Structure 1
């Protein structure tokens, strides 16, 4: 008989040590990707909150790693520019020949709200332009330790304000993955408070919408997501800079989501942020928002990295966005 879980009525279930196999229900390429990710060295512990030099060094390492991931992206057929927009730095990727229909995809990059500046932010704009064949604007928003909340969110709002004035909100789709999903949802709360209209649609890929990390999957999937094996509590505290983590502009899951545009949400059964995504979907539905939830078998945080399941995810996102341009209130 295998070891049985040890029940503790006041706290939960203590699981004995066990081997969790790679799922047989996914492609061979996806299983290989899970194994390769799990074989990478464990990340070092986060610095102490007051260790500014330690955070700067750790963030520099993350930026280099993430920038290297973006370096191989194809840029043929795109016109690329980095410039100021509303006081914030943006990367603009425009498919050529350029469409003149006014559509813009506003992309907010991931990176735990502390990393992903520069090359990675540019790469995310490139991916969005290639995926949707429209102009993509990626916000290279400010981040801690020099610029904690609300600096990055304010950058996103400044860019959104410029795009709404130039293109109209119904020609804009806002999207982000992970930390970018946090900012994408928080941006809509921020924009509504500023009197700006909602965009045509919202795309939240494995979004970091609860910085309190109170969801079930933070416990049940700890150590099982090879991309994000543990939560980001220390980074969340650095970003929040003393503000309560359940503030809706920090954790938009807890905000008033009524009036949000149609929303696409994606996660996987091995994604540490599975609960974030599922709970955000339920909160949107409770607020009367049309929301699609896509949960991919065996997929970790951010995807497998170029296997058939990732291609299927890309097709679903492209379909959703194509169906929602020009939404009229």
Structure 2
């Protein structure tokens, strides 16, 4: 039998004379496959990013835990040394060892000149943030405040040594203003204590603002601090370490603010930020006024 031309035509076309070719099906399948592969790749990249983020947060938490543990042991040790009676003991006689290698003649090296730190003639207005986890969605209020204050700098709680060195580069007549939240609050109190030593040059701290400090030895404010604003959250009992106390009320003014904000919210609250910025403006205004009076006095003396 011969082939029916109508049937043969229908087998070659469907609908509006659209040829049915196996190639079209392959193209559709390849597009779908590419789409699935693209989704898989994006998911894989996302998983890698999350893993890296968790690793970073784990390191930060580990570092903070070590710091707090050391802080606690130091506080306990200090308290124990005051409570326990002092017992006399015989000092141990160290053994003397002679290293023959060290007795050989050594070429004398020329003494190197110590580089003097470069002076930065501006105020030290430092904002120190606490533990900032990557997975945390909370905003960093201290960083935002540092960007709003002219000449201010931002540090993390674990950059205490860097902040200390930066303060020492400022002339003594320039004001020191320290603001810290959480572990950063602990750091700025530590900085104030370090500045009140021979190494720190017994530097004055014009303003110290602490926001829900986390630590074990930051409640007593040293005598070199002129004013301390201490904001405490009554919502998080784990973080709340109580009000601050001046070591000498004649030299330091301590103002405690009890807040209903949570530990994570307190540095972002408008009232808290406004209070801190207002006091910074007050300190800087007094400093500029005194400097102008000093210049006028020098100018007057030159005409005598």
Higher helix share: 2
Higher strand share: 1
What range describes the TM-score normalised by the shorter chain of this pair?
A: 0.3 to 0.5
TM-score when normalising by structure 1 = 0.44
Which structure has the greater CA radius of gyration?
A: 2
TM-score when normalising by structure 2 = 0.47
